[in-house]
Structure 1
Amino acid sequence: MSLIDSLTPKDTEEIRPGLFIQKREKGYRVLNPIAWNGKYRWRKQFSWRSVFTIAIIIFIIGMNV
């Protein structure tokens, strides 16, 4: 099993391009998988909020060293 296969979620369907749903016990859930059809999907994986948070963490660690 490769890394891409392990990142692909199970019980997931692509309703239309870019819209994925996953079957759950209580219904369905919308998600953005990192890998789909053997390819990485980088879009919508990183937002400005995550970049800003990582920058703050690096700044705090750098100040303490």
Structure 2
Amino acid sequence: MDTAMQRKVPFLTDLEAKLGSSSLEVVIVDCAIDPALRESMQIKHCIALDCPVTEVAILVQRLSEIVTGKMD
């Protein structure tokens, strides 16, 4: 992660200290005990490998479709 991005993303401890006063929401998921998440991560990895670097918009679209499909 580049330095500019690190400044924008707060540390988890900072979010915990400001509980209720932040507009951010954090969800922690244990990949070791969530088989559906592991499967989704494998699918996303395969899609990322198949997508040319020049087609980032297509990659983002495909990944967002997977995520929103899991939210239903």
Structure number with the higher helix fraction is: 2
> How does the TM-score come out when normalised to structure 2?
0.30
TM-score by length of 1: 0.32
Higher relative CO (Cα under 8 Å, sequence separation at least 6) belongs to 1
Over alpha carbons, which structure has the higher Rg? 1
Q: As a proportion of its length, which structure holds more strand?
A: 1
